[in-house]
Amino acid sequence: MGREITSAHVQQAALALQHLLLRDYRDRWVRFQRERERPGEVHQRAVTEVLKRFVDLNRAQSRYQEVSLDSLPQRVSRALRGDTLSRATLELFIDAFGISSTDSGRLRRIHDGTDKIRVLTGPSALPPEAAAALGPARHRTTSVHEHHYVGRDGRPAWHRTQQVIEATEARLDRYPYRCDTSALAVEVEEGGRLGGPLYPLDGGLFALDILLDEPLTLGDETSLTYVTLFQYDTSPPPEMRRASRRVMHNVSMRVEFHPDKIPRHVWWAVWDGMNGGIIERDECGLRASCYVFKRLDAIEQSVVGFTWQW
């Protein structure tokens, strides 16, 4: 059992490393790529070249004196596939690519076996048409708390989101609110105002923009609080999910049930993308005030949340 858990953690760490190399550290290896680029793939020979050059320049350090340059291609291949990723190899990647303290700390926690961080094993949290509809991300989430309330009729009644976002471009004047249902109303309590009515996107999504109280410059943060009021005519699936394309830090999720409508079972679950089935679930016990709660250090390319049975 311990060996299986270790293998799962290694695969999660390998996925997280690939996402970082594709997203934030691509410029370090793409200049060594000789073959035609394949979108969405890390080029192993180019990555190996980065490691070789780094080891050559740092032979004076004791931890690099025994690293065999001839073995690096196989070492990189096995690491990125998630077959074998030792802590020493992970540290070599961190050093050679200058991976930041925040990103490297997250990689180490995943590799060591934390249950607070989840990287989806599938190709994407969103189907391609939905991801295309969202467009490029202009912000990152540094903190988000979700509070979901299920009413006496067993249907979602309201959902409050408290979120801190950081601008990742020179000027950010709005936050894009996206959802997978039109049966709702949205109220902004703090941080901005609604920019217009709800409108449909491709991929079965709906959207509206929250105009920020003040535009943000690169690196600036602001907090938002907004409430979604649901108006379902029929009961939706018994679940509350959060999908993430890019990394979201400090994530907490709470589902509260009306005392007259208590589920028989509640599970914390991971879905294989927005349209996929549940690939992992763990049963949760209700707390005294009829709610369940989960906190995660981060999620990325994931669909996670709670599901229940009446």
pLDDT at 104: 86
Do 138 and 248 belong together in one domain? Answer: yes
pLDDT at 40: 61
- Cβ atoms within 10 A of the Cβ of 21, count? 22
Q: Are 306 and 255 in contact (CB under 8 A)?
A: yes
259 — pLDDT class (breaks 50, 70, 90): very high
Phi, psi of 246 (to 5 degrees): -95, 170
Is residue 207 a part of any domain in this protein? Answer: yes
Do 22 and 87 belong together in one domain? Answer: yes
Is residue 103 a part of any domain in this protein? Answer: yes
Do 216 and 239 belong together in one domain? Answer: yes
Is residue 15 a part of any domain in this protein? Answer: yes
Q: Are 187 and 226 in contact (CB under 8 A)?
A: yes
pLDDT tens-digit map of 161-215: 999 999 988 899 988 887 766 556 678 889 988 876 667 776 667 777 889 999 9
Do 156 and 209 belong together in one domain? Answer: yes
Q: What share of the chain is helix, strand, coil (3-state, %, to 5)?
A: 30, 40, 35
CA distance 149 to 159: 6
Cα angle 234, 205, 283; round to 5: 60
pLDDT at 215: 93
CA distance 94 to 54: 11
User: Given 79, 114, 149, which residue is the final one in a domain?
Assistant: 114
266 — pLDDT class (breaks 50, 70, 90): very high
Do 108 and 148 belong together in one domain? Answer: no
Which is higher by pLDDT, 300 or 260? 260
Is residue 155 a part of any domain in this protein? Answer: yes
Do 22 and 137 belong together in one domain? Answer: no
Nearest of 301, 245, 298 to residue 109 by alpha carbon: 298
pLDDT at 161: 92
Do 135 and 18 belong together in one domain? Answer: no
Q: Are 97 and 21 in contact (CB under 8 A)?
A: yes
Do 146 and 258 belong together in one domain? Answer: yes
Do 66 and 165 belong together in one domain? Answer: no
pLDDT tens-digit map of 46-90: 999 999 999 989 888 888 888 888 889 999 988 887 778 888 899
39 — pLDDT class (breaks 50, 70, 90): low
Domain count, the chain: 2
Q: What is the mean predicted confidence (pLDDT) over 236-247?
A: 86
pLDDT at 136: 58
pLDDT at 164: 94
Is residue 123 a part of any domain in this protein? Answer: no
Q: Which residues of 152-178 are buried (b: 16+ CB within 10 A; e: fewer)?
A: eebbbbbbbbbbbbbbeeeebebbebe
pLDDT at 183: 52
pLDDT tens-digit map of 217-240: 999 999 999 888 776 778 889 999
CA distance 161 to 163: 6
Nearest of 257, 248, 250, 268 to residue 290 by alpha carbon: 257
2 — pLDDT class (breaks 50, 70, 90): very low
CA distance 19 to 27: 13
Q: What is the mean predicted confidence (pLDDT) over 279-284?
A: 91
Do 282 and 245 belong together in one domain? Answer: yes
Distance from chain centroid for Cα 33: 28
Which is higher by pLDDT, 123 or 282? 282
CATH value at residue 179: 2.60.40
pLDDT at 18: 82
Q: Are 150 and 230 in contact (CB under 8 A)?
A: no
Do 104 and 134 belong together in one domain? Answer: no
Do 106 and 134 belong together in one domain? Answer: no
Cα angle 159, 165, 171; round to 5: 130
pLDDT tens-digit map of 118-158: 554 433 444 555 444 445 567 888 899 999 999 888 989 88
105: which 2 tokens? 């700390």
Residue 61: give the domain boundaries.
2-114
Q: What is the mean predicted confidence (pLDDT) over 3-8?
A: 51
**H or E stretch covering 102:** helix 101-112
Is residue 122 a part of any domain in this protein? Answer: no
Q: Which parts of the chain are beta strand (E)?
A: 117-119, 139-150, 156-167, 171-179, 184-190, 192-194, 199-200, 206-217, 221-230, 239-244, 248-257, 265-271, 278-284, 291-300, 302-309
Is residue 121 a part of any domain in this protein? Answer: no
User: Given 59, 90, 114, which residue is the final one in a domain?
Assistant: 114
Which range has the worst mean pLDDT, 13-27, 104-118, 225-239, 295-309? Answer: 104-118
On the question of pLDDT at 263 being above 90, the answer is yes
Is residue 120 a part of any domain in this protein? Answer: no
User: Given 114, 143, 178, which residue is the final one in a domain?
Assistant: 114
